[in-house]
C-alpha cells in the first residue's frame, strides 16, 4: 500500500532532475554525448556521481563536452570513447575497448542519432538513418550486454522519437531504400525500429533467469538540438514560427531519458516522453507507443534481420 501511494504521488507531480537518485558507483555509457540530449543526459548523470563514458564520433567535440562538464563540476568522473555508429568496425572496436576497461556497466544509453538526412549510406552500405539509429545501437548493445546482465539495476535505454508514428513502417523488401528514398519515412523506420528492438530485448531479458537488466525507451518530444539541421528549407520558416509552442530546450528534452535511466519505479518495456500537448514538451511521464511497435512478430523479424546484417548475436 505504501509503495502504491508513493508511486501515485510521484505520478501526480512533475518529475525533474531533483528526483534522480545518487548515481555514485554506477558506470554509464552514453552515445552521442558531445551535444544536445546526449550531452545533458551525460552531464546530469556525472553531476549525480556516476562514472560517465562519452561515446562520441568526434574526439575533438567529445573533449570539448568533457571540458564543459568538468568546468561545471571539477570532481566529475568522466571519460571519452570514440564511437562511429555508422561503422560496424568502429562499433566493434569501441565495444572491445569498453569491455577491456569495464567489467561491469550499469547503464547503456543509446542516444545518438541522425534525422532526415539526404540519401547517404554508412560505411557498411546501410541507409544512414537505419544504419546509425538502429543497426549501430543494436550491434553495440549486443556486444556489451554481458557486461550489464549480471548487474542489479542495470538498464539499456534507447531513445526513440515521435517520428516512429510518422509514415513509419519496416520496409523489409527495401530496408536500405535503394528503390527510392524518402527521408521522413526512412527516419520513421529507424525510430520504429528503436522501439521494436527495445520491446524484443525486454522480452528476451525477462525470459532469462540470470539477467538483472531491463530495456526501456524514451523520447524527447520536440527539442531544440542539432538533430534538426537537415530540416528541409521549405519547412524551416514554419518550424521557427511554431518553435515556442512545439519545441523545448535540450535540457528539458533529456528528462525522459534520465527518468527511464534512473527512476526506481521504472519497469522493463516502458516508454517515457513529455507530458505536454501532443507529447511535444513538458516533464517526463509514462507514455504509449504505436500499435505497430508492439507487434511481436514484427519485433522478432526485425531482430533476426538485424542479427544477419550486423553479425552480432545477443547472449539472451
Backbone angles phi, psi at 78, to 5 degrees: -145, 140
Where does 136-219 show beta strands of DSSP type E?
A: 155-159, 214-218
Would you give the distance in Å from CA 80 to the centre of its chain? Answer: 18
Residue 187 known to be catalytic: yes
Whether 249 and 223 have beta carbons less than 8 Å apart is answered as: yes
Is position 263 within any domain? yes
Q: Who contacts 101 (Cβ-Cβ below 8 Å, separation ≥6)?
A: none
C-alpha cell, 38? 546526449
pLDDT over threshold 70, residue 227: no
Is position 118 within any domain? yes
Torsion of CA 248, 253, 255, 259, to 10 degrees: 130
Q: By percentage, how much of the chain surpasses pLDDT 90? A: 87
Helices and strands counted in the chain (H then E): 11, 8
100-114, 132-146, 235-249, 252-266, range with the lowest pLDDT = 235-249
Whether 274 and 221 have beta carbons less than 8 Å apart is answered as: yes
C-alpha cell, 57? 564520433
pTM of model > 0.85: yes
CATH number at residue 182: 3.40.50.720
Is position 175 within any domain? yes
Query: Rounded to a whole number, what is the distance in angstroms from the first to the last CA of the chain?
Result: 34
Residues in the chain: 316
Which pLDDT tens digit goes with each residue over 105-129?
999 999 999 999 999 999 999 999 9
Is position 58 within any domain? yes
**What confidence tier does 2 reach under pLDDT thresholds 50, 70, 90?**
very low
Q: Is 307 exposed, middle or buried (0-12, 13-18, 19+ CB in 10 A)?
A: middle
Q: By percentage, how much of the chain surpasses pLDDT 70? A: 89
Residue 222, pLDDT score: 87
Residue 292, pLDDT score: 98
Q: What is the DSSP string of 205-256?
A: HHT-TT---EEEEE---SB-SGGGGG--TTTHHHHHHHHHHH-B-HHHHTHH
Which pLDDT tens digit goes with each residue over 147-196?
999 999 999 999 999 999 999 999 999 999 999 999 999 999 999 999 99
Name the residue with cell 550486423.
Answer: 310
pLDDT over threshold 50, residue 245: yes
Torsion over CA: 284, 137, 90, 179 (sign): negative
Tell how strand 77-82 and strand 51-56 pair up: parallel
Residue 247, pLDDT score: 80
How many domains does the chain divide into?
1
The helix (H) or strand (E) run that includes residue 144 is helix 137-148
Give the mean pLDDT of 89-106.
Answer: 98
Could you say which DSSP state residue 153 is in? T
Give the mean pLDDT of 132-158.
Answer: 98
Residue 224, pLDDT score: 66
Give the C-alpha separation, 202 to 269, whole Å.
6
Residue 13, pLDDT score: 80
58-62, 237-241, 251-255, 260-264, range with the lowest pLDDT = 237-241
Is position 282 within any domain? yes
Is position 149 within any domain? yes
Is position 7 within any domain? no
Q: Which residue out of 39, 102, 181, 187 is catalytically annotated?
A: 187
pLDDT over threshold 50, residue 214: yes
Is position 315 within any domain? no
Expressed as residue numbers, the domain containing 44 is 19-310
Residue 238, pLDDT score: 47
Give the C-alpha separation, 299 to 158, whole Å.
15
Amino acid at each position: 500500500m505504501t509503495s502504491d501511494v508513493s508511486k501515485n504521488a510521484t505520478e501526480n507531480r512533475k518529475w525533474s532532475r531533483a528526483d534522480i537518485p545518487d548515481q555514485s558507483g554506477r558506470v554509464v555509457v552514453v552515445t552521442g554525448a558531445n551535444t544536445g540530449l546526449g550531452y545533458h543526459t551525460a552531464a546530469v548523470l556525472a553531476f549525480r556521481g556516476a562514472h560517465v563514458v562519452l561515446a562520441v564520433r568526434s574526439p575533438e567535440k567529445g573533449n570539448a563536452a568533457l571540458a564543459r562538464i568538468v568546468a561545471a563540476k571539477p570532481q566529475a568522473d568522466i571519460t571519452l570513447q570514440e564511437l562511429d555508429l555508422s561503422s560496424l568496425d568502429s562499433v566493434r572496436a569501441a565495444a572491445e575497448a569498453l569491455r577491456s576497461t569495464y567489467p561491469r556497466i550499469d547503464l547503456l544509453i543509446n542516444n545518438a542519432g541522425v534525422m532526415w538526412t539526404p540519401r547517404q549510406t554508412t560505411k557498411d552500405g546501410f541507409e544512414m538513418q537505419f544504419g546509425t539509429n538502429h543497426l549501430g545501437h543494436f550491434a553495440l548493445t549486443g556486444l556489451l550486454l554481458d557486461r550489464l546482465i549480471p548487474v542489479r539495476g542495470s538498464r539499456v535505454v534507447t531513445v526513440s522519437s515521435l517520428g516512429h508514428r510518422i509514415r513509419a513502417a519496416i520496409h523489409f523488401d527495401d530496408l536500405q531504400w535503394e528503390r527510392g528514398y524518402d527521408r521522413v519515412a526512412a527516419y520513421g523506420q529507424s525510430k520504429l525500429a528503436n522501439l521494436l528492438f527495445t520491446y524484443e530485448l525486454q522480452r528476451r531479458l525477462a525470459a532469462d533467469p540470470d539477467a538483472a537488466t531491463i530495456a526501456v525507451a524514451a523520447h524527447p518530444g520536440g527539442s531544440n538540438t542539432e538533430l534538426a539541421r537537415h530540416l528541409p528549407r521549405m519547412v524551416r520558416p514554419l518550424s521557427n514560427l511554431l518553435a515556442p509552442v512545439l519545441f523545448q530546450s535540450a535540457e528539458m528534452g533529456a528528462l525522459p531519458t534520465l527518468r527511464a535511466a534512473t527512476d526506481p519505479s521504472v519497469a522493463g518495456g516502458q516508454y517515457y516522453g513529455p507530458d505536454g500537448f501532443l507529447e511535444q514538451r513538458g516533464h517526463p511521464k509514462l507514455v504509449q507507443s504505436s500499435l505497430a511497435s508492439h507487434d511481436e512478430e514484427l519485433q522478432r523479424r526485425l531482430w533476426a534481420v538485424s542479427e544477419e546484417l550486423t553479425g552480432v548475436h545477443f547472449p539472451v
